[in-house]
Chains A and B, each alone.
Chain A
Amino acid sequence: MKFLIIACLVAYAAADCSSLARLQVRGQWAAAYGSNGRSRLALGRLVWESVYANVNNAAGVFSGVRGDNIDSAVFMAHSARVLGGLDMCIASLDEPAILSVQLAHLSEQHSGRGVPASAYPAFVSAVVNAVRATIGVSNFDADSWTACMTEITGGIS
């Protein structure tokens, strides 16, 4: 019985982007994103493969940045910008005032581009899976990641 209560508490906590989840996500993102262009582009490639597999006409959404070829230099520069934007948001997860300015700025950059609503949850799971594949499964809490990523994309979409 006690175990069930604890299990419920854990499940409840894990569904939220809690302070501890923010700490964990920030540290794990830093490890996955790193400071090296090559590894960042590799992380980005994992993200886009997954987005392309799950979003209809992703190539069309990114037609302005060579969405037809995710290995082109133009698309990779776009990938570097998206991951850079995500890096800013994750680094500010513990500073809500800055985060909300940043999300409003990103939201403006996304409006009118015809991004389908379904693309945001697809992007969230793509990032969660790409980070897990990059840093390994031990001590990786997909629920915390999904909750914090959804908070970020919720401010953009």
Chain B
Amino acid sequence: MLAIYVLLGLVASSFASSCCTSEDRAQVQDVWSAVWSAGLSGRRVTLAQAVFSAIFEAAPSTRALFAGVGVDDMNSAAFRAHCIRVVNALDVSIALLDNPGVLNHELSHLGAQHTPRNVDASAFGVMADAFSSVMPQVSSCFVPDAWTNCFNRITSGIIAGM
């Protein structure tokens, strides 16, 4: 439990201080497009299921948020489809890191989609940690700082829109 608070604290402090620079963006886009397979959905599901498993392990109470999309059976078509939608939104956002004006509108749209769902802002910190633990397992050249800076750029935009 203490570890979670420490991690949340670290994530919170990186929100404030670290910028997703153009070098960071390029690294994140490279890493992401190598992991992400645009022609296949299987890899996306595997990645997202691993992320959600890590989230539910770190913050079991968040599981209830996904009751409407079949979380009871994480292999159900409903939950796998939800996984694809989540990772797809991240894919769209990462690709838009080069177009900040367009990205900002996309993030406020995603924020508005989260508003009625009572998602706590801290859940995005848990999700950031989950991605940071899963990505190095599937990426051969993962750059943690660049990833964290740009991931937080995306989630802070979503939180601001909530």
Please give the residue numbers on chain A whose beta carbons come within 8 Å of chain B beta carbons, in ascending order.
26-27, 29-30, 33-38, 40-41, 73-74, 76-77, 80-81, 84-85, 87-88, 91-92, 94-95, 97-98, 100-102, 105
Contact = CB atoms under 8 A, between A and B. Distances in A.
Contacts of A34: 38
Contacts, number: 95
Main secondary structure of the interface of B (DSSP, over half): helix
B101 A80 contact: no
Q: Which of B78, B81, B101, B106 has the most CB of A within 10 A?
A: B81
Given A26-B39, A29-B39, A101 B102 contact: no
Interface in B25-58: 29, 32-33, 36-42, 44-45
A87 B38 contact: yes
Interface of B: 29, 32-33, 36-42, 44-45, 77-78, 80-81, 84-85, 88-89, 91-92, 95-99, 101-106, 109
A101 B91 contact: no
Chain A's interface: helix, strand, loop or mixed, by majority? Answer: helix
B84 to A, nearest CB: 5
A76 B103 CA distance: 9
B82 to A, nearest CB: 8
Looking at A26, A34, A87, which has the most chain B CB atoms within 10 Å of its CB?
A87
Contact of B77 (A27, A40, A97): A97
Contact of B36 (A35, A74, A105): A35
A88 B104 CA distance: 22
B41 A36 contact: no
Contact of B80 (A27, A73, A84, A98): A98
